[in-house]
Amino acid sequence: MKHLFTQISLAIEQAALANQKVAMLHLQVLKHADELAAVSPKDFCEAVGLQDSYKAEYSKMLKLASVMKQENLKLA
């Protein structure tokens, strides 16, 4: 799991340089939702180096991933 957090953190850092930090956060959480399902928002933010203010964004994306799964929608 630590490798996944490092990978997500690096992707978010790179996206921040292009002013797309939140979009990349959303993408990474959607992409890895199954692996992150048991990770609390607080633990996720700590693990990837985000402020607590991103907890809501993380939670929203996990919920969206669940809805997408129910609707049989997948990221291309």
Domain count, the chain: 1
Q: Give the domain extent around 30.
A: 2-70
Residue 76 lies in a domain: no
Residue 30 lies in a domain: yes
Say which residues have a Cβ less than 8 Å from residue 51's Cβ, sequence separation at least 6.
Answer: 45
Q: Which residue's structure tokens are 């402020």?
A: 51
> Burial level of 4, CB count in 10 A (0-12/13-18/19+)?
middle
Q: Model's pTM, two decimal places?
A: 0.94
Residue 6 lies in a domain: yes
Nearest to 43 by CA among 54, 32, 34: 54
pLDDT > 90? residue 76: no
Q: What is the pLDDT of residues 6-55, one digit of tens each?
A: 999 999 999 999 999 999 999 999 999 999 999 999 999 999 999 999 99
Q: pLDDT band at residue 61, thresholds of 50, 70 and 90? A: very high
Side chain identity at 35, as an amino acid letter?
E
